[in-house]
Structure 1
Amino acid sequence: MKSKKTPQLSTAKQRELGAELRRIRMRAGYLATDMSRMLGWPASTISRLESGLRSYQAGDVAIYLARAKATPRELDALVALDRLPDDGYQVRRHPTAFPDDLPLTTTLDTGSQSITTYDPGDIPRQLQTEPFIRETLIKNGHTDGPALDRAVDKRIANQPISLRQPGPFTFYMHKATLLKRTQRPAVLHEQVLHLLITSSLPRHQIHLVPADFALVNPHPGFALYRHDQHRPLVHHQQPTTSLFLENEHDVAHYTSQLEHIASKAFTVQQTRDWLTGYLAKLERQLTQNLADSK
């Protein structure tokens, strides 16, 4: 009896390249069958290549991009990406506090079966409201205008609640983040209300972490992405760069960190109770501010 062949799990780099090939092909108005005919490749090869489920030979990416009418800049960037080692460590640069536009981040946000996020210093970007995103990006040096509008729209569009993904999605955030009150009261009120509503959705779990909790080795926030057909991946966000980790010992380390965080965090119901009380407090403050302004 033949043993079942273990399915090959795709890497982050393969998925990123595949997503970019699909985007450029669709922009040119070609179907996958058109590419199959022009390249002389089986349709299944095109599908698996764009899904990140197939390894490719040297030169395949350049040939595909040329047929799909990629721009010279796209061709250079993606051929350079293709030549990077696929060793479980990927580094990408991005604007301050905004990794959302990275093709790899978009691929992970829109194509993962589960996401678990820990953010010690801010509200996870997957949970932020439009006014909160706008104020946060402006504080990080982004200029108000069309570019900021596009950034806000991009972040909202890739949130689980916008994509209506089944999940599960689990978020850990520090209670101190909400108590800092760095946003205007009305913005913070809307954000807390959004957290409360989101926490009631199926397979969306929000856990507050006590203000005095700290990991042994403190670091910026991170997210763990999982999918049956892809290797688990940790996105470790820095202010202007993102590190994507896939090696087993890295994923195991961050999984252990999440287990430790979960053991100290509030339950979902405790979090909802605290948010409800805090929302009432913010509403009283807004009412008082309105009365004082008259």
Structure 2
Amino acid sequence: MHAKDEKFTSSIKRRELGAELRRIRERAGYQAATMASKLNWAHSSISRLEAGITKAKEGRVGFYLGWAKATTAEFDRLVALDRQPDDGYLARLHPAGCPDGLLVVTLLDTESDSFTTYDPRGIPRHLQIEPYIRTVLTKFRYQDGPALDAAVQDRLDRQTSWTRRHGPFTFYISETALPANLAVAHEQLVHLSILSSLPHCHVRLVLAGDSTAEFCTGFTLYRHDEHPPVLHLQAPTASLFLERPGDIAFYESQLEHLANLALSRRETREWFTRTLADIERHLEQDQPLTQGRDEASLEARE
């Protein structure tokens, strides 16, 4: 429970609204300066509103949408969004296993200066290769066909956004996240090894024997210089975005705990190298690789 008088300025709702306003303005063919002139607003007011930095005065969003030729459905939805309280959390539904298409997720993935993510059950979506994505989405009842192909390609297309920024971007990965299919596991590990060599990509492994039972849900903490941090909690068919300082502090403490549990970046790369060798040996011998890996690998880690 948060104190009623606690001062809080929401960010992610404003950023979502601002991105929608910009999309509708651009669809109408108006430059920001033209829109400012039509509304008799300062140009900076348009920029700050569309960036989610400022909150529009009562009625201004509807006025903007009218001039930008929004549809009736868009007008009703976005005016309702503007009137929602800035209470520090935002919930959004999405197709099973696919938060990628949410505008909020797109904004966070493409605009954040850095983020830290942990998935206790799988490879984070930012690092997944094509066959791994297919395996994951199939578990969510996607069937082979155009819908699955589109979802896979959409996730792959979005992965390059963070690699072009300075970061750092930190990924905590569970040892048990690798798929049972050895060929896919090998390809995924090669991909992780390459990405982990980038100076701004920090991949750290959490071994299966370590105590991480309290981390039952994956999460990502996003940071941006001009906005408060945002925490993304993903359930199978919905995502929750948190911004209140108390919520952020709780998950920051969880990340500190993870940092103490996880292997270092160097140790993680060494584990990748050993495990790749194990998989290649098993592939040559056409033998299965156990979830905990073989005894030699376990001894090498100790």
Give the TM-score, by structure 2 length: 0.87
Q: Is the 8 A contact 1:10 1:53 kept in 2?
A: no
The corresponding residue for 1:271 is 268
The corresponding residue for 1:237 is 234
Matched position secondary structure for 2:221: strand
Greater mean deviation of Cα atoms: 41-50 or 78-87? 78-87
- Deviation digits for residues 125-163 of structure 1, max 9, x if unmatched? 111112211221122112333332332232223225665
Greater mean deviation of Cα atoms: 139-148 or 126-135? 139-148
Q: Is the 8 A contact 1:156 1:162 kept in 2?
A: no
Segments of 5+ residues of structure 2 without an aligned counterpart are 1-7, 288-302
- Deviation digits for residues 58-104 of structure 1, max 9, x if unmatched? 22222222322323332232222222211101111111111111111
Aligned pair in 2 of structure 1 residues 217, 201: CA closer, same or farther (>3 Å)? same
- Once residues 56 and 202 of structure 1 are traced to their aligned partners in structure 2, the CA distance between those partners, rounded to angstroms, is 40
The reply on whether 1:175 has 2:175 as its aligned counterpart is yes
Q: Is the 8 A contact 1:119 1:173 kept in 2?
A: yes
Aligned-pair distance for 1:284? 2.9
Q: Is the 8 A contact 1:89 1:243 kept in 2?
A: yes
Aligned-pair distance for 1:286? 3.3
Q: Is the 8 A contact 1:18 1:52 kept in 2?
A: yes
Cα root mean square deviation, aligned: 2.0
The corresponding residue for 1:119 is 119
The reply on whether 1:260 has 2:270 as its aligned counterpart is no
Greater mean deviation of Cα atoms: 40-49 or 20-29? 20-29
Aligned-pair distance for 1:106? 0.7
Percent identity of equivalent pairs: 53
Q: Is the 8 A contact 1:174 1:209 kept in 2?
A: yes
The corresponding residue for 1:45 is 45
The corresponding residue for 2:136 is 136
Which residues of 2 match residues 40-189 of structure 1 at below 5 A?
40-160=40-160, 164-178=164-178, 181-182=179-180, 184-189=181-186
- Deviation digits for residues 207-253 of structure 1, max 9, x if unmatched? 00010233463321001111111001111111111111111110000
Aligned residues: 280
The reply on whether 1:195 has 2:192 as its aligned counterpart is yes
The corresponding residue for 1:23 is 23
Amino acid at match of 2:53: L
Matched position secondary structure for 1:75: helix
Give the TM-score, by structure 1 length: 0.89
Amino acid at match of 2:147: A
Aligned pair in 2 of structure 1 residues 83, 143: CA closer, same or farther (>3 Å)? farther
Which residues of 2 match residues 221-232 of structure 1 at below 5 A?
221-232=218-229
